Chains A and B, each alone.
Chain A
Amino acid sequence: MSIRKNITASMGALCLTLAAGLVQAGDTIKIGSFLAVTGPASFLGDPELKTLQMYVQEINAKGGVNGKQLELIHYDTSGKAKEAVNFTKRLVKKDRVDLIVGGSTSGTTMAAIPIVEKNRIPFISLAGSVKIIDPVKKWVFKVPHTDRMAAAKIFADMKKRGLTKLALISGDGGFGKSGRAQTMELAPTHGIKIVADESYGKKDTDMTAQLTKIRDTDAQAILNFGFGAGPAIVTKNVHHLGIKLPLYQSHGVASKKYIALAGVAAEGVRLPAAALLVADKLADGEKQKPVLISYKSAFEAKHGAVSTFGGHAYDGLMIAVEALKRAGSADKAKVRDEIEKTQGFIGTGGVFNITAKDHLGLGLDAFKMLEIKGGDWVVVE
């Protein structure tokens, strides 16, 4: 059934290509996207959309890819998995996109995966969870660092400081849950003991009760997995309760907004994050620096302070564009194969070496351990 459907689809596509060849004007490469532009995860989707629009425009101004203009078709999911399913179906069935770069949150990405797998569309996700690429799914790739990497990076830093007992508090969204699971799974292999495991709801406004419980354990450090207002409230509550333990946040708070919301309470907080945040402070020899500076200045000239999330959209789009160029066409299977062959691509998140077994292709060195000092980030390694 599905083979026949595919034959029909490719016949249709062939006819369309022929027709487009005659008309010329309709001849574009369609890049689909579904992002959380509004809603609680808007701080992810908003810079992602701005980045995609900015670079699609720039690429088109330079003549496009393979002689064709890029066409960006995007929808706003408000971070809801149900909407992601609807919009992905629409992108595939109605808009007939050639590939998809999007999915701001792990929840929306996971919801879209069955659809892209079934319809065989190359999909580069912009969400954090390791579950997106583990186990490997043929048509699904992702560019942001995983929560597993964040946990590993934090454990390494804890070891350096001689801390072994960790209290965990995580949001109940997809990102927080997945981060919690990875932390629990990874902790024993790093000799870390989890002494408390608390959670909070996406819209909760006070985490004092959970933190009071943590205060009365023998924890030596606190780790908070989450994004949005939650981590900022946790940070403030920790400060107000007078808890002096080192506080680790995940890469979910890698934006200036977090520092602005948490204020003085954010001082001394450590988090693993992409080098983009500290682009200016990198040594001149670092491979990533030119890419980082160019993205940062381009984004900041138009939209204000840069965040790593917009950077993911840059990485996803550029990996797709490189793959399109190497494939020489927008043929979905060819593009997928070429994405899988991405080697040594320097993006904002790190240097990508994607393989058939690793659909992310970033090493632990892609993360820097940062500490917040004087309202800014400082590299601490």
Chain B
Amino acid sequence: MWDQILQFLFTGVTVGATYALVALGFAIIYNASDVVNFAQGEFVMMGAMCAVFLYSGSGLPLPVALLLAVALTIVLGMSFQRFAIARARGASVVSTIIITIGASIFLRGVALLLWGKDILAMPHFSGETPIQLGRATLLPQNLWVMGGTGVMVLAVHYFFHHTTLGKAVIACSCNRTAAHLVGINVGLMMLIAYGLSAFLGAMAGVLVTPITFTSYDAGVMLGLKGFSAAILGGMGNPMGAVAGGLLLGLIESMAAGLISSGYKDAIGFVVLLLVLFLRPSGLFGKASAERV
């Protein structure tokens, strides 16, 4: 029994770590501009697809291909902000959200045309020999996912709380006009927020693809799960989003293992609904008053 639970735990944390990275991306852009970026899942897909094609298409060594893929996705995220979001300056939050939905459909279409509709695989970073812990097993790639997520979460935390640049991004979310008045370049901060979100998405993509495969439409489900995780943790709170992601992953895996695999998604969403009933601002979110 305990072996089983340990195994469910490993699975849950790995899957949850991916959700956490996607949720973190959601939270960062939401924090900076009150916008829910529905193209977040597509950043994950773009990172993964670029990596697969740079690796298998051009024969680059794996680490180089991964770095390039992440860099490309960051450029993509920034151009998305520059050419689609910034252009609609002054548009309401809802309009901007609709732009992001449009962008997600556009990116899926681009990926479909560029790379086709095949499901694609990527090699594991350090082999596929499972690590035995009792009767439970763990892949080296699971450790990569957990470790990678951990490092990035800490880095994001440090960035927002201990660097001037990070604090400037937060300032923009508190009050855009005031931030502008004290000399913060609001446009640049938005660019940074989107770049950072794209970076986190791409990292999630390249870390999990060896385990999960990828395809042009892989971003849809990840985006949805990441969004749920961000809501669960409290939308404006980056660390809450991470906790929400891990929690959602664990709930799914425990539900599949201990209750019924057929109902695992349903159980995840029921928990989400319950949380929203009892704490409408999420588990770790601060109750927000309507800004006038």
Contacts and interface: CB of A to CB of B under 8 A. Distances in A.
Interface of A: 38-40, 42-43, 46, 172, 198-201, 203, 205-206, 208-210, 212-213, 216, 228-229, 232-233, 236, 239-242, 257, 260-261, 263-264
Interface residues of B, number: 36
A225 to B, nearest CB: 14
A305 to B, nearest CB: 12
Given A39-B217, A210-B256, A242-B132, 13 more contacts: A39-B117, A42-B118, A43-B118, A201-B265, A205-B15, A205-B213, A206-B15, A209-B7, A209-B12, A232-B213, A240-B128, A240-B139, A261-B213
Given A40-B217, A240-B130, A242-B137, A209 B257 contact: yes
Contacts of B212: 205-206, 229, 233
B215 A212 contact: no
A199 B256 CA distance: 9
B262 A205 contact: no
A216 B4 contact: yes
B20 to A, nearest CB: 15
B73 to A, nearest CB: 19
B97 interface: no
B274 interface: no
Interface string B124-162: 000010101000110100000000000000000000000
A260 B121 contact: yes
A209 B139 CA distance: 14
A198 B112 CA distance: 32
B237 interface: no
B253 A172 contact: no
Interface in B162-217: 208, 211-213, 215, 217
Contacts of A39: 117, 217
Contacts of A229: 119, 212-213, 215
B8 interface: yes
B261 interface: yes
Contacts of B118: 42-43, 257
A17 to B, nearest CB: 39
A260 B221 CA distance: 23
Contacts of B213: 205, 229, 232-233, 261
A300 to B, nearest CB: 17
A236 B142 CA distance: 14
A42 B120 CA distance: 13
17 contacts: A39-B117, A40-B215, A40-B217, A42-B117, A42-B118, A200-B261, A203-B220, A208-B10, A209-B8, A212-B4, A213-B257, A228-B119, A232-B119, A239-B128, A241-B137, A242-B137, A261-B213
Contact of B4 (A46, A206, A213): A213
